[in-house]
Structure formats: structure tokens, C-alpha cells
């Protein structure tokens, strides 16, 4: 599951460079009132092209969840669980799902994210299994779980690092996007820049 951010890009790089697994990389266009879908889409397109050119071939697909008419913003990890289930069923022989969740960034409440995500997924996947669809056993992988954000930024090639997008509330500037500089992911990127004394 690929968002175009730092963490899932690091997952993609690890799986492409450290395994010979057949990969299906899937991006969800999260359309909601944050207005981040187009900025993420641009990053995703660029990262996928870069990885195809510099690593190896992989399948790529995307889908859209459009909640732009709602005031409430759906929880990302629930959206990911829902779409991952449909993608797993759509991918013959799929028995693993990789996500870019990090342990060290999670506070006490969010530590249950991984378990909750798998629980939501399992309830949906079970509906398919009763229809004899999907692999009987499916594993969740967390390839960058033990890494810190600065470690992740350090492991990405510089060109690729600069293609990633983190901001949740991009500012439109003509046909371009600028990070808002104030949302939580923007603050995280600023602290990575400070820690590594690089500009990202
Ligand atoms: Zn931001």
C-alpha cells in the first residue's frame, strides 16, 4: 500500500531492492476536504516512474476514495484496510500485504493501529474467504517498522527523497503545490531536515 510519502516509499525501495518478490503497488487517492489527493498523486506518479527506471518492474494500480462532500475526514488506516482487502482479492496468489507503519512515531493510543487495521481487514477478508476467494493465510508485513523518520530519509536516494510528499493540507500555487508547513507531517519533515541538516 503506497501513499507517496516517506514511509511507504521506503517500503517500496526495500521490497524492490532487497527481495525478488512480485509486487503489486497500490495507491489510494484519498479525496477529502484536506485537499491532498492531487499533490500525493503527482508524487506517486513521479516515484513510481523513478523506481521503474532505477530498480525493477512491478505492477502498479490505484483507486479513489472520494469523501469530498463530507466534513469528517475518514481515518487513513481504516481506508487502507478496506482497499487492501479488495486489492488482495484482485491479485491472484496474494498472501502478503506491506504497509509503511513506523513503531517509533506512534504514541500510546496509536500503538494499536496495526492491530486495529489487521482486525478490520480480517473481518472483511473473511467475507471473501466464505465465498472461496483469496488465499487462506495472509500476512501483514511492516518492512520499516523499526526505523525512525531520519533513518528512513537517510536510506532513500536523494532524488527519490525529494519526490516524496507528506503534507496533508497542500497550498495550491497555480498548477503546483507547496507544503503548508504547519500540519503534523510537515512538522515531522522539518525535524528530519534539522536532524540530518539537509533540506527535504
Ligand atoms: Zn503540511
Question: How close is the Cα of 27 to the center of ligand 1, in Å?
Answer: 20
Q: Tell me, in angstroms, the distance from the centre of ligand 1 to residue 170's CA.
A: 6
Residue 89: the pLDDT is 98
- 133 Cα to the center of ligand 1, angstroms: 40
Distance 180 CA to ligand 1 centre (A): 4
pTM: 0.94
Model confidence over 123-166: pLDDT tens digits? 999 999 999 999 999 999 999 999 999 999 999 999 999 999 99
For the range 65-74, what are the long-range contacts, defined as Cβ-Cβ under 8 Å and sequence gap of 24 or more?
65/28, 65/29, 65/30, 65/31, 66/29, 66/31, 67/31, 67/32, 67/33, 68/31, 68/32, 68/33, 70/32, 70/33, 71/33, 73/32, 73/33, 73/34, 74/30, 74/32
Paired strand residues for 141: 98
Q: What is the pLDDT of residue 199?
A: 78
Distance 96 CA to ligand 1 centre (A): 31
Q: How many angstroms does the Cα of residue 116 sit away from the middle of ligand 1?
A: 26
Cα–ligand 1 centroid distance for 153 (angstroms): 17
pLDDT for the residue 93: 97
111 band by pLDDT with thresholds 50, 70 and 90: low
**50-69 pLDDT, tens per residue?**
999 999 999 999 999 999 99
Amino acid at each position: 500500500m503506497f501513499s507517496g510519502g516517506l514511509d511507504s516509499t521506503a517500503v517500496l525501495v526495500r521490497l524492490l531492492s532487497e527481495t525478488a518478490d512480485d509486487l503489486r503497488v497500490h495507491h489510494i487517492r484519498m479525496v477529502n476536504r484536506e485537499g491532498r489527493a492531487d499533490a500525493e498523486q503527482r508524487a506517486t506518479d513521479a516515484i513510481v516512474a523513478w523506481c521503474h527506471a532505477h530498480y525493477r518492474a512491478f505492477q502498479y494500480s490505484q483507486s479513489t476514495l472520494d469523501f469530498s462532500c463530507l466534513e469528517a475526514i475518514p481515518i487513513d488506516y481504516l481506508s487502507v484496510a478496506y482497499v487492501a482487502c479488495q486489492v488482495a482479492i484482485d491479485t491472484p496468489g496474494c498472501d502478503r500485504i506491506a504497509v509503511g507503519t513506523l513503531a517509533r512515531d506512534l504514541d500510546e493510543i496509536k500503538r494499536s493501529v496495526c492491530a486495529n487495521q489487521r482486525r478490520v481487514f480480517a473481518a472483511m477478508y473473511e467475507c471473501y474467504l466464505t465465498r472461496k476467494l483469496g488465499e487462506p493465510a495472509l500476512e501483514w508485513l511492516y518492512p520499516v517498522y523499526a526505523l525512525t523518520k531520519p533513518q528512513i530519509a537517510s536510506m532513500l536516494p536523494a532524488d527519490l527523497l525529494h519526490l516524496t510528499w507528506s503534507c496533508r493540507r497542500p497550498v495550491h500555487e497555480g498548477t503546483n503545490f507547496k507544503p503548508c508547513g504547519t500540519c503534523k507531517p510537515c512538522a515531522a519533515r522539518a525535524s528530519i531536515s534539522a536532524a540530518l541538516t539537509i533540506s527535504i
